[in-house]
C-alpha cells in the first residue's frame, strides 16, 4: 500500500470507525476490533484493492524487537523496561524495577496531551520507534480541532461547567437579629374598697373614733 493510498483511506477510516463505535449494537458485535473493520470498509470506500505481498507486514513490539522490513507497527502490547532498556514482563519482576513503561491502555479514557517520554537507552528499536511515531502524531495534530490539545481544552471546559453546576448555591444573607424589647410588667391595680351594708371603710373608722 503506497502512502498516497493510505492518505486517501485515512479520513474515511477515522470517520467510519467513529460511526461504528457510536452504534451500540455494532460496538457490542465488533468490540475492540471495530477500528479494523473501519479500515477494511474505508479501503472499499476508496475503491482500492489490496494484495498482501510482504511476509513481514507488521511488527508487534516488544516481542518483535528489530524494525526489519515491516511496514506497520501494531502496538497492541504494552512495553515495560528496566533502567538498562531491557524489556520485561511486569507480572514477573518487582514493580520498583520497572523504570519506564508505555501501554495504550494507560489512555483508555483520555488522549495523551503531551509528548510521551522516550524509553531508556538500550530499549528495542521497535519500542523506540513506536513511541516516537506517537509523539510525531501528537505534534502534528496539535492545531487540529480533533487533536489532543483541543480534546484537553474540551475536557477542561467540561470539568469547569460540571464544577459550577455542583457548587452549592450562595445562601442569602440572613436578616439581622431583632433586639428583643423587654416585656412590659403588668401593673396590678389596687382592689376597690369593699362596702358592707352600705357602709364604707371610712364610715367604719369614724365610728371607731367615736
Give the length of the chain: 210
Grid coordinates standing for 11?
Answer: 479520513
pLDDT, tens digit, 9 for 90 and up, residues 56-95: 788 899 999 999 888 889 888 999 999 999 999 999 999 9
pTM higher than the cut 0.75: no
Point out the residues of the chain with pLDDT beneath 50. Answer: 196, 198, 202, 204-210
Grid coordinates standing for 154?
Answer: 474540551
Grid coordinates standing for 129?
Answer: 520507534
pLDDT, tens digit, 9 for 90 and up, residues 103-118: 988 887 777 777 889 9
Per-residue pLDDT, 207: 47
Cα torsion through 41, 145, 154, 9, rounded to 10: 10
Cα–Cα distances (Å) from 9 to 48, 63, 143, 206, in that order, read 9, 28, 22, 133
Amino acid at each position: 500500500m503506497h502512502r498516497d493510498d493510505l492518505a486517501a483511506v485515512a479520513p474515511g477510516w477515522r470517520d467510519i470507525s467513529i460511526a461504528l463505535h457510536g452504534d451500540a449494537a455494532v460496538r457490542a458485535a465488533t468490540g475492540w476490533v471495530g477500528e479494523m473493520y473501519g479500515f477494511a470498509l474505508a479501503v472499499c470506500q476508496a475503491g482500492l484493492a489490496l494484495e498482501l505481498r510482504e511476509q513481514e507486514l507488521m511488527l508487534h513490539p516488544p516481542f518483535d524487537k528489530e524494525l526489519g522490513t515491516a511496514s506497520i507497527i501494531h502496538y497492541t502490547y504494552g512495553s515495560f523496561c528496566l533502567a538498562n532498556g531491557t524489556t520485561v514482563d511486569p507480572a514477573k519482576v518487582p514493580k520498583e524495577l520497572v523504570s519506564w513503561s508505555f501501554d495504550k491502555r494507560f489512555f483508555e479514557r483520555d488522549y495523551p496531551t503531551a509528548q510521551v517520554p522516550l524509553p531508556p537507552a538500550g530499549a528495542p528499536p521497535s519500542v523506540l520507534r513506536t513511541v516516537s511515531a506517537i509523539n510525531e502524531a501528537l505534534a502534528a495534530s496539535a492545531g487540529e480541532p480533533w487533536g489532543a490539545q483541543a480534546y484537553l481544552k474540551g475536557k477542561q471546559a467540561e470539568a469547569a461547567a460540571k464544577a459550577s453546576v455542583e457548587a452549592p448555591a450562595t445562601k442569602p444573607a440572613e436578616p439581622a437579629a431583632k433586639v428583643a424589647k423587654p416585656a412590659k410588667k403588668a401593673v396590678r391595680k389596687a382592689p376597690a374598697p369593699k362596702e358592707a351594708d352600705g357602709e364604707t371603710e371610712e364610715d367604719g373608722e369614724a365610728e371607731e373614733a367615736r
